[in-house]
Amino acid sequence: MHQPPYKSGETYLLPWARLHATKDYLDTARALERYPEVRTTINLVPSLLMQLQEYVSGQAEDYVLQLTRKPAFLLSEDDKHEIVRQFFQCNVERMIKPYPRYLQLYEHVDHRNDECRLDDLDSLSIQDWRDLQVWYLLTWIGPYSKEREPFHTMMMKELNFSEPEKLRLIEESLWLIGEIIPLWKQLKECNQIGLSVTPFYHPILPLLIDTSSAKESMPDVVLPTETTGWKDDAELQISGGIQFFEKVFGETPPGMWPSEGSISNETLELISKHKIQWAASDETVLRNSLGGKSPPLAHCFPWRYRTEHGDIHLFFRDHHLSDRIGFVYAGWEPEMAADDFVAHILNRRNQLIKEYGRTTLNEAALPIILDGENCWEYYEDNGRAFIEALYKRFTNSDLIETVTFTDLLERTGPDNTRTIESVRAGSWIGGDFGIWIGGEEENQAWDALAQARKDLMEARDQLSEQRFHKACEELLAAEGSDWFWWYGKENTTVNDPLFDKLFRERLQRIYSIIGMEPPEELEKAIRQYTGKSHGGAMHRAEIE
């Protein structure tokens, strides 16, 4: 479960933490409530937890929420243009077309080049604008919450919403966000879920520690001019993430999903230093690390990696099966998709028995790891029917048992795990770091980040401790992976300019805090946005 920090000043420029909270974070937990025998691990990124807390406490709002709150009869022309641009950013097939009133409003708008436009603003009445404000909120409410009031009544009403109804919906949607962390805690106390954490701002740790680690899996990569070697930053990201998790949940997380499954030898040393028992990545990284000598179904076992701080255990996701949920089943009939998935699991089981004997089932597991939010808007009804069909089959199966990673380690014991001597640095996407480094834009961003860090460190002796720590926080936030994700040619969204702005603003604030004039280059966009998005308005189109 992950979102980067979208805040600019006191306002979130993008609403994704809030919208995924009301549609995904709460409902995935509610699905588990209905199937108490299904066990899983939920990984939480502190930059997301921080935003959820701020929404609940009223410390911040996002720009879309502000546009939603504003009375429709007071909307300016600029407001209306922004509403048209932003209030259709969702999956059209699954989140607009099923609702006749929302579809009617959508059809008023020009959608060429993935940019929504409406030249004749007067073609929509005040009531139209208000209904659009309401529908963008309603479509981001999860299917379980839509059964509750006032959401159920408003869905049935469909049109002609009033300002008081709209304001009530806003307040009730924020109440939903307030239920998420307590529900995670409840499921954890019932021993149904395990919780793990990611470094605070979701950085690519191997690249922070040493950009040249990219060459381990990409020998011909063109690296940025400035190198990193920021081991201290990587450790702050790890320790800060653990401390924030402890503050929210009252205990140390047993495991860590390193951002984007990115690991290296040096990364694992740092994670192990902080008493994390396990970490996870992708089977591609395991295969690369074993030098092509990977035994059959090697990713179906925990692996032990020895560090100077003690052993850490590694799990490697089943790439094919995880991606079937993330990218294949959305267009399938739910029962058929669940049957297919179970058939694949049982096929893996039969292969394990054939290769290693039946007793190996005591220690073998099939790690299924995927983003907790992004795929569901591509499913009918946010994936509810598929998830319930799958959980029902898990509950009724005598051959499949769901476990957390911690469960498995407690069951097998450290002496029964295989040992991996060295890890080839890589991520869960292609086994390398090509998404985040090597292109012209990514490298320009890395160089800007390196220059800001260098200037901050050179000014350190002239700064009070408070100012230095404040500037460091901006630096750590700028090290997050998401800014680099949207640079380059691989991924693009209509919000590219805002991601670029948020990254450069972080660097500019470093200079402001330390009393220096920011370089002129930070006024210029790094992202050369073409106006064409890949994979939808906001989906992180992972190329697995």
What does the DSSP assignment read for 114-136?
G--B-S-GGGS-HHHHHHHHHHH
Amino acid at 505: E
- What is the architecture of the domain spanning 440-523? Up-down Bundle (1.20)
Cis peptide preceding 414, ω within 30 of 0? no
Q: What are 115's two structure tokens?
A: 């940019």
Rounded mean pLDDT of 467-483? 98
The single residue listed with the structure tokens 């769901």 is 402
pLDDT of residue 531: 65
Does residue 528 carry a pLDDT above 70? yes
pLDDT of residue 416: 64
Does residue 332 carry a pLDDT above 70? yes
Name the burial class of residue 467, with classes exposed (0-12), middle (13-18) and buried (19+) by CB atoms within 10 angstroms of its CB: middle
- CA 260/CA 491 separation, integer angstroms: 15
Does residue 133 carry a pLDDT above 70? yes
pLDDT of residue 115: 75
Angle at CA 284, nearest 5°, toward 16 and 261? 35
Q: Which residue has the higher pLDDT, 528 or 171?
A: 171
- Work out the pLDDT band at 539, boundaries 50, 70, 90: very low
pLDDT of residue 538: 38
Does residue 432 carry a pLDDT above 70? yes
Rounded mean pLDDT of 214-240? 97
Least confident of 110-119, 259-268, 335-344, 479-488: 110-119
- Other C-beta atoms within 10 Å of 67: how many? 18
Helix axes 384-396, 26-34, angle to 10 degrees: 30
DSSP state of 2: -
**Which of 103-112, 449-458, 521-530 has maximum average pLDDT?**
449-458
Rounded mean pLDDT of 425-454? 97
pLDDT of residue 533: 54
Does residue 114 carry a pLDDT above 90? no
Rounded mean pLDDT of 102-107? 96
- CA 263/CA 532 separation, integer angstroms: 32
Rounded mean pLDDT of 176-180? 98
- Work out the pLDDT band at 76, boundaries 50, 70, 90: very high
pLDDT in tens, 17-50: 999 999 999 999 999 999 999 999 999 999 999 9
- CA 37/CA 165 separation, integer angstroms: 39
pLDDT in tens, 408-420: 998 886 666 799 9
* Whether 315 contacts 278, CB under 8 Å: yes
Does residue 494 carry a pLDDT above 70? yes
Q: How far apart are the first and last CA of the chain?
A: 18
What integer best gives the mean pLDDT of the chain?
94
- Work out the pLDDT band at 293, boundaries 50, 70, 90: confident
Q: Domain ranges in the chain?
A: 7-189, 198-371+401-419, 440-523
Does residue 544 carry a pLDDT above 50? no
* Whether 409 contacts 195, CB under 8 Å: no
- Work out the pLDDT band at 292, boundaries 50, 70, 90: confident
Name the burial class of residue 37, with classes exposed (0-12), middle (13-18) and buried (19+) by CB atoms within 10 angstroms of its CB: exposed
Q: Is 431 helix (H, G, I), strand (E, B) or coil?
A: coil
Q: Is 482 helix (H, G, I), strand (E, B) or coil?
A: helix
Q: Is 255 helix (H, G, I), strand (E, B) or coil?
A: strand
- Other C-beta atoms within 10 Å of 76: how many? 10
Whole-model pTM: value is 0.95
Does residue 313 carry a pLDDT above 70? yes
- CA 542/CA 371 separation, integer angstroms: 10
